[in-house]
């Protein structure tokens, strides 16, 4: 905006402040402007001034300073206790300690004596068991002359004094006395015109009343023809309001859940802590599988072991499937299966625990369940890895379930999440055959998002399952990163307020 456009945008109050500032000159205070206006309320000055500031016409310098006022109001008239004592001593020939009671209130005597001595105004002499008080030279002088602290108190009685206008030593002294003066912090503001402010003033700022609101009366009376209307300026700054909203991750999780529920699935979950038996053995993962090793799995110390004995029949079947294939039609892994290894407690490394445990309890078709929950792996944290993350897991078991159906379900899920296309590559998991890896198309790039497959007979045989079980486990954070346009997975959990505020509600 140029100077004349800005001039056109100025409200009545802004014009008034600008003119007052031009009159008072740079360095004027809002209080000065308030009187020069004149304005009805201080907020009018402050509002207009902040608009003028945002339009670049004025600057406002703020400085904090301490101001002091009189708290013990009566002192201004009665005088300090030591002053009253001093005058009394001056009027009398010999004054003994006990006589001061006549000149002072109860309780003031020690205060008065303390300050008389501190200010070196009196001498005390003990004669014949009595203390006689006499004035020093300084005391005599003080009889006829106001002391510095008295002078300052007198000024404070009229109005507050800023630290700049008061001697620091006297202030310190007065502050040390009980309940005598008040201290508070005051912000002093100084306004000045900018170069642009001067240019606008040079164009000729005139004060005219403005109408900010059209009323029926204004229209009916025809007065609208004479008045000038306040202009809208859609370019002026206004603070952004950030509405409360759910965390983006929660919103994406809600979306995943809604999609599976709409597709006819039921949500399930299980404990984070599992015996290796359910995390691995029932999934036909051999006990020497590299993924079981310490660098991948968090094994627990307390408890280090979990009982798996609630179904000895199942344990026997799983053992024989691992060792010889049992009656699954497989040859098995051909090693000696260890129960102790299967009993080790761990943090689940995948949510396939959830689906296999569900399947064990629900061996009859149809089964359609999903879970969206947390898993744990010993990963070093970097831009694409976290030791804790979420998986989108699911199974479908029914008579006609097929590989095509599996790909179709995944395709449907991703398309409902806004990913236009997916493709599958062959993959490998000990518990599925065929196994596949899912890639989704995002911004013209294929991104790997998870695994899937059909459970092997070695997995389903112990439960007498006759029909195909389609299974998948997909990464949740990866999906969220793509949707949110993040390059670093850590940002999802970083609680960066700016990022959260700006996150779109999709
Ligand atoms: N559990 C696998 C993983 O964590 C994913 C998967 C689930 C693969 C089900 C096949 C079937 O990566």
Q: What is the pLDDT along the chain (506 residues), one digit of tens a residue?
A: 889 899 988 888 999 999 999 999 999 999 999 999 899 999 999 999 999 999 999 999 988 989 999 998 888 889 999 999 999 999 998 888 888 888 898 889 999 999 999 999 999 998 888 889 999 999 999 999 999 999 999 999 999 999 989 999 999 999 999 999 999 998 889 999 999 999 999 999 988 778 888 999 999 999 999 888 877 767 666 778 888 889 989 999 999 999 999 999 999 999 999 999 999 999 999 999 887 876 689 999 999 999 997 889 999 999 999 999 998 999 999 999 999 999 999 999 999 999 999 999 999 999 999 999 999 999 999 988 999 999 999 999 999 999 999 999 999 999 999 998 899 999 999 999 999 999 998 888 898 999 999 999 999 999 999 999 999 999 999 999 998 888 899 999 988 888 888 877 75
pLDDT at 127: 83
Within a domain: 338 = no
Residue 452 contacts residue 436 (beta carbons within 8 Å): yes
Residue 466's nearest CA partner among 388, 397, 393 is 397
How many structural domains are present in the chain?
3
Query: Which of 451, 455, 477 should be mutated for ligand 1, with most atoms under 8 A from CB?
Result: 451
Distances (CA, A) of 101 to 77, 109, 117, 319: 19, 7, 17, 105
Residue 205's nearest CA partner among 488, 6, 473 is 6
Within a domain: 343 = no
Atom of ligand 1 nearest to the CA of 472: 9
Tell me: do 15 and 132 sit in the same domain. no
Query: Which ranges in 363-430 belong to alpha helices (H)?
Result: 403-416
Tell me: do 496 and 428 sit in the same domain. yes
Residue 157's nearest CA partner among 90, 233, 80, 222 is 80
Pocket of ligand 1 contains residue 475 by CB under 6 Å: no
pTM tops 0.75: no
Distance between CA atoms of residues 357 and 353, nearest Å: 6
Distance between CA atoms of residues 449 and 413, nearest Å: 12
Tell me: do 267 and 406 sit in the same domain. yes
Pocket of ligand 1 contains residue 394 by CB under 6 Å: no
- In this predicted model, what pLDDT tens digit does every residue of 374-398 receive, in sequence order? 999 999 999 889 999 999 999 999 9
Cis-peptide into 366, omega within 30 deg: yes
CA of 328 to the centre of ligand 1 (A): 21
332 in helix, strand or coil?
Answer: coil
Tell me: do 197 and 172 sit in the same domain. no
CA of 492 to the centre of ligand 1 (A): 23
Tell me: do 87 and 211 sit in the same domain. no
Within a domain: 7 = yes
Burial of 208 (0-12, 13-18, 19+ CB in 10 A): exposed
Tell me: do 391 and 446 sit in the same domain. yes
Tell me: do 262 and 190 sit in the same domain. no
Tell me: do 128 and 204 sit in the same domain. no
Query: Which ranges in 391-454 belong to alpha helices (H)?
Result: 403-416
Within a domain: 427 = yes
pLDDT at 294: 63
Distance between CA atoms of residues 259 and 410, nearest Å: 11
pLDDT at 506: 58
Tell me: do 88 and 110 sit in the same domain. yes
Pocket of ligand 1 contains residue 197 by CB under 6 Å: no
Domain with residue 50: its CATH number is 1.10.10.10
Tell me: do 88 and 224 sit in the same domain. no
Residue 263's nearest CA partner among 419, 394, 441, 357 is 394
Tell me: do 492 and 359 sit in the same domain. yes
Within a domain: 411 = yes
Tell me: do 399 and 481 sit in the same domain. yes
pLDDT at 77: 87
Residue 439 contacts residue 422 (beta carbons within 8 Å): yes
In the DSSP assignment, the letter for residue 79 is: -
Within a domain: 134 = yes
Pocket of ligand 1 contains residue 352 by CB under 6 Å: yes
Q: For residue 112, what are the domain limits?
A: 75-183
pLDDT at 237: 64
Within a domain: 14 = yes
Residue nearest to atom 2 of ligand 1 (CA): 473
54 in helix, strand or coil?
Answer: helix
CA of 472 to the centre of ligand 1 (A): 6
Pocket of ligand 1 contains residue 474 by CB under 6 Å: no
Residue 294 contacts residue 349 (beta carbons within 8 Å): no
- In this predicted model, what pLDDT tens digit does every residue of 135-186 receive, in sequence order? 999 999 999 999 999 999 999 999 999 998 999 999 999 999 999 999 999 8
pLDDT at 236: 64
Query: Which of 389, 429, 431, 455 should be mutated for ligand 1, with most atoms under 8 A from CB?
Result: 429
Residue nearest to atom 4 of ligand 1 (CA): 350
Domain with residue 444: its CATH number is 3.30.930.10
pLDDT at 228: 82
Quickly count: other Cβ atoms within 10 Å of residue 151's Cβ: 13
Quick one: three-class SS letters along 378-394? CCCCECCECCEEEEEEE
Gyration radius (Cα) of the chain, Å: 43
Of 195, 229, 263, which closes a domain? 229
Query: Which ranges in 347-423 belong to alpha helices (H)?
Result: 352-361, 403-416
CA of 432 to the centre of ligand 1 (A): 9
Within a domain: 366 = yes
Query: Which ranges in 161-232 belong to alpha helices (H)?
Result: 168-175, 195-202, 216-221
């Amino acid at each position: 905006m140029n100077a004349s456009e800005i001039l056109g945008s100025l409200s009545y109050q802004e014009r008034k402040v600008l003119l007052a500032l031009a009159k008072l000159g740079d360095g004027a205070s809002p209080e000065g402007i308030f009187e020069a206006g004149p304005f009805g309320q201080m907020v009018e000055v402050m509002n207009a001034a902040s608009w003028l500031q945002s339009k670049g016409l004025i600057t406002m310098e703020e400085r904090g300073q301490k101001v002091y006022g009189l708290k013990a109001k009566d002192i201004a008239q009665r005088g300090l206790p030591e002053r009253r004592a001093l005058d009394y001593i001056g009027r009398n020939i010999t004054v003994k300690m006990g006589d001061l009671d006549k000149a002072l209130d109860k309780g003031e005597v020690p205060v008065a004596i303390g300050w008389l001595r501190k200010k070196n105004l009196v001498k005390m002499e003990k004669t014949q068991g009595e203390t006689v008080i006499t004035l020093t030279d300084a005391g005599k002088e003080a009889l006829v002359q106001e002391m510095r602290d008295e002078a300052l108190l007198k000024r404070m009685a009229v109005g507050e004094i800023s630290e700049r206008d008061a001697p620091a030593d006297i202030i310190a002294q007065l502050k040390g006395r009980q309940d005598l003066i008040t201290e508070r912090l005051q912000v002093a503001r100084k306004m000045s015109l900018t170069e642009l402010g001067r240019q606008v003033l040079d164009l000729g700022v005139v004060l005219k009343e403005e109408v900010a609101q059209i009323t029926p009366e204004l229209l009916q009376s025809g007065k609208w023809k004479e008045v000038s209307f306040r202009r809208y300026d859609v370019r002026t700054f206004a603070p952004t309001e950030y509405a409360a909203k759910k965390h983006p991750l929660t919103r994406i999780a809600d979306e995943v859940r809604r999609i599976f529920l709409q597709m006819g699935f039921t949500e399930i979950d299980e404990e984070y802590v599992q015996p290796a038996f359910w995390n691995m053995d029932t999934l036909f993962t051999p006990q020497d599988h590299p993924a079981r090793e310490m660098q991948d799995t968090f094994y627990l110390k307390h408890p280090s072991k979990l009982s798996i004995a609630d179904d000895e029949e199942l344990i026997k079947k799983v053992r024989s499937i691992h060792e010889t294939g049992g009656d699954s039609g497989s040859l098995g892994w051909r090693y000696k299966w260890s129960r102790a290894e299967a009993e080790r407690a761990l943090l689940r490394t995948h949510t396939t625990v959830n689906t296999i445990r569900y399947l064990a309890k629900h061996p009859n078709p149809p089964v359609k369940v999903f879970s969206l929950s947390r898993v744990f792996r010993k990963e070093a944290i970097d831009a694409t890895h976290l030791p804790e993350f979420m998986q989108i897991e699911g199974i479908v078991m029914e008579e006609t379930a097929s590989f095509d159906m599996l790909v179709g379900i995944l395709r449907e899920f991703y398309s409902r999440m806004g990913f236009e296309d997916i493709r599958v590559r062959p993959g490998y998991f000990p518990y599925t055959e065929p196994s596949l890896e899912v890639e989704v198309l995002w911004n013209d790039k294929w991104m790997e998002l998870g695994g899937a497959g059909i459970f092997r007979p070695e997995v389903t045989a112990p439960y007498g399952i006759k029909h195909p079980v389609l299974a998948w486990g997909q990464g949740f954070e990866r999906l969220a990163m793509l949707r949110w346009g993040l390059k670093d997975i850590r940002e999802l959990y970083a609680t960066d307020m700016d990022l959260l505020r700006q996150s779109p509600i999709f």
